[in-house]
Amino acid sequence: MSNFPSPLLPRLTVLGAGPGDPELFTLKGVRVLGEADVVLYDALANNDLLRYVRPGAPQVFVGKRRGMRSYGQDEINALIVDSARRYGHVVRLKGGDPFVFGRGREEMLYAEQHGLLTDYVPGISSAVAAAGSVGIPVTHRGASEGFQVITATTATGELSAAVTEAARSRTTSVILMGLSQLERIVEIFSQNGQSEVPAAIVQNGTLATARLVTGPVAQLPERAAAAGLGAPAIIIIGEVARLAKADAGVPTVFSELLSYAEVA
């Protein structure tokens, strides 16, 4: 049930679209889209979800994918407030989970500062789902006792210091927005003794167009280039990458997968 006392008040719901497959969208998300007076959606949100928007409600594409023309964050913030005052209920549809490197809370805070009521509806994060969709669990008994999710790129476009911190760890590392920084990431992990650690890159995880490349960390750039991988993609580094399914798009380059007995 909505937390809002009146549907006529200017308000914002930040809504997670999930990892890509529209069947992984939440039931609450379906309801919220049906209640929207206007929807502002990102490039990483599957357009198939827009069928849940009620007829007549404006749908505004705001981009937010590397290499594509899109609104700047300040423009999006202003558009949220202006749209709420004009239409009422703004639904901000964002790929994955809006609170996992999605700037969802940032947009909510701006809206709250301008008098809007706000709400948040989670989505399944690609950080876990994209890996799982090709058979890679982020944790697995005997192989990984934990995982960390980091972004490769800072707000200024530089490589995040979190990459170096992750390279010093032996837990599973899931790196988002890292394909353009792949060579530098591999260099840092190799400098920290992880050049031969199993790794994987998953493009378009959970979708029928998903593609997978696996191999030792040091060989990722060459194999990603040979496969022609592009964004959106996630990078997984850790022993769990050995569990990737051999039939998930691009064939796995590991000749042997861990058996249950080896990791149990």
pLDDT at residue 154, rounded to an integer: 87
Residue range of the domain that includes 50: 11-121
CB-side exposure of 214: number of CA atoms within 13 Å?
26
Instruction: Say if 6 falls within a structural domain.
Output: no
| Mean pLDDT estimate for the chain | 90
pTM for this prediction:
0.87
Instruction: Say if 165 falls within a structural domain.
Output: yes
**Which pair of structure tokens corresponds to residue 38?**
């206007």
Instruction: Say if 144 falls within a structural domain.
Output: yes
The confidence band for 248, taking pLDDT boundaries of 50, 70 and 90, is low
Same domain, 130 and 258: yes
Average pLDDT over residues 70-88: 94
Query: Rounded to whole angstroms, how far apart are CA atoms 215 and 69?
Result: 34
Same domain, 174 and 251: yes
Same domain, 145 and 257: yes
Give the residue numbers marked as catalytic. Answer: 42, 64, 177
> Domain containing 183 — which CATH number?
3.30.950.10
With CA atoms as reference, report the closest residue to 249 among 195, 199, 207, 187. 207
Q: How far is CA 207 from the centre of its chain?
A: 13
Ranges assigned E (strand) in the chain: 11-16, 38-42, 59-63, 89-94, 117-121, 147-151, 172-176, 198-203, 211-216, 233-237
Torsion of CA 190, 142, 138, 21, to 10 degrees: 130
Average pLDDT over residues 188-210: 96
Q: Which pLDDT tens digit goes with each residue over 103-124? A: 999 999 999 999 999 999 999 9
Same domain, 191 and 249: yes
Instruction: Say if 221 falls within a structural domain.
Output: yes
Q: Which pLDDT tens digit goes with each residue over 21-44? A: 999 999 999 999 999 999 999 999
Average pLDDT over residues 198-220: 96
CB of 205 closer than 8 Å to CB of 131: yes
**Total domains present in the chain:** 2
